[in-house]
Amino acid sequence: MHETARYAGIGGLDMFDRQFEQLFRALHRIEQQLSTASHEEKEILREEIIALRAVCDRFVEKWLTFEEKVVYLSELFGLEIDLEELPKKPVKPNPVMQPVHVKAIPLPPPAEEEQIVRSFQKGVGYFDLLMFPDAIRELERVVALDGQFTVARLYLAFGYLAKEEYDKAAQQLNLVAAGVKEPFILAMVHNSFGHIYAAKKDYARAAEEFKQTAEYMQDFRDAYYNLGVCQYNQKLYRDALASFLVALDQDPKDWHAERIVSSIWRKIGSPEKAYQHIEQAYRLNSSDYDILMEFADLCLQQQEFDLARSLYKRASRFYPTAVQPLGGLGWLAVREGNTPEAISCFKKQLTLAPNDRQAQFNFGWALLLEGDSGKADQIFQKLMEFEPDWIHTRIGAARVALEQGNYHMALEQSAEALKLDENSKELWFYKGLAHSGLGDREQAQQCWNRCRELLTVTTEARGESS
């Protein structure tokens, strides 16, 4: 699994209005779900809408506070600010929150300045509407008339970046960096270069850029998040963990970061800490698909089967076309010995995704448990044609061979599968059964001893008794 970096534009504000995009996406999803929701589900969705509204209320509160401050400054210093009217001819905006020292240059003629202001306003307006080609056209006019208009050039670079024209974006960013010393703007430049390298999957260079971003702006939380993403994608999990924890210190309500931290703890062998973070992610966002699935999977590991079932059902209600929740419910049924219910779940999976290899494996395994090794064998043989290097294909084929008493075939499939994962407990167990079936008790015992060792390691990692 690869994680994706976030892109923030000028002022650390999200260049794509990410917060509001997420709110509207969530509202659109709820609207679709309401049309088929039961009474109980409508109550859940109603709670979600209230939560979304509370988020919007916080934006309104911040805006009102800002307006009160504007009124206060206007009255205190006699600024005569018309609160109902926007300026018609704004000066070139400067994103830096401290005095900027730039080289004095002659002002362009009034007509030229009028054109600069007009094109800049249009460019930013198009940019806010995500109309990037139109924004680029206007902003190119601005920098052609005034090459030292830093903010316009920075917006132009963002526009090229949004269109994935990385060479053009890099050219503009280099020009910006060459002409300024302000930490804020340099942070934006390095952050943008980080996204260019990340888009090209050059995560090592992207990570260096995000480190530079953090050095220029230590309170720019997305820099640490993006650094963590690059480290995660390089499988530098402990470095990534440190970066995401810094991001969480700056924003404890970031459910994205909580989910990834949980994933990292799982990878480095601490399911208890993984559980704590995915539980917190769920508290912050109880409708995200990845959170629901990862929380349910961890509940299975912690043997909290009722909670896992509840999460899989919730995911299935919220995402009715998703196949994974049905798989989770099916395997819970397998665990309880309810094979007919498992087969029903796996059939629904295949209806939604006939070519999904996991759904095919699930159905074949349930048929095997039902005693239909012939149909199960057909499924695993078909999988073998298309997925010969998928370990589950080999596991299924080995299990079928054992059921049919074909111990040589079971031994062959187990040995091939162990080349893919030498730490699979199931495969060592099946290989031992194959040796036992062939009368080789010594080899069988060695396989079972290895299986026992792996089980001990797993239970110790979970804090359980063997």
pLDDT in tens, 284-300: 999 999 999 999 999 99
Q: What pLDDT is stored for residue 76 in this prediction? A: 60
Using CA atoms, how far apart are residues 136 and 164, in angstroms rounded to an integer? 13
Q: What pLDDT is stored for residue 11 in this prediction? A: 40
Would the pLDDT of 24 be above 90? no
* Position 373 in a domain: no
Quick one: CA torsion of 295, 297, 300, 306, rounded to 10 degrees? 50
Mean of the pLDDT values across residues 106-120?
70
pLDDT digits (tens, 9 = 90+) for 364-380: 999 999 999 999 999 99
Among 251, 271, 293, where does a domain finish?
A: 251
* Position 313 in a domain: no
Indicate whether 21 and 114 sit together in one domain: no
What's the CATH code of the domain at 411?
Answer: 1.25.40.10
Quick one: CA torsion of 230, 234, 236, 239, rounded to 10 degrees? -10
Two structure tokens written together for 238: 């402990």
Mean of the pLDDT values across residues 312-330?
94
Q: How many residues does the chain have?
A: 466
- Which of 285, 378, 348, 221 minimizes the C-alpha distance to 55? 285
Percent of the chain with pLDDT over 70: 80
* Position 443 in a domain: yes
Choice among 119-123, 240-244, 291-295 with the minimum mean pLDDT: 119-123
What's the pLDDT band for 461 if we cut at 50, 70, 90? Answer: very low
How far is CA 89 from its chain centroid?
42
Indicate whether 130 and 245 sit together in one domain: yes
Exposed (0-12), middle (13-18) or buried (19+): which is 239, by Cβ within 10 Å? middle
Choice among 36-45, 54-63, 204-213 with the minimum mean pLDDT: 54-63
Indicate whether 69 and 181 sit together in one domain: no
Q: What pLDDT is stored for residue 82 in this prediction? A: 54
Mean of the pLDDT values across residues 133-148?
90
Among 203, 227, 251, where does a domain finish?
A: 251
Would the pLDDT of 106 be above 80? no
Q: Which residues of 68-104 are buried (b: 16+ CB within 10 A; e: fewer)?
A: eeeeeeeeeeeeeeeeeeeeeeeeeeebeeeeeeeee
Q: What pLDDT is stored for residue 86 in this prediction? A: 44
Q: What pLDDT is stored for residue 107 in this prediction? A: 47
Domain range holding 70?
A: 17-79
Q: What pLDDT is stored for residue 180 in this prediction? A: 82
Would the pLDDT of 98 be above 60? no
Query: Which pTM does this prediction carry?
Result: 0.69
Domain count for the chain, please give it. 3
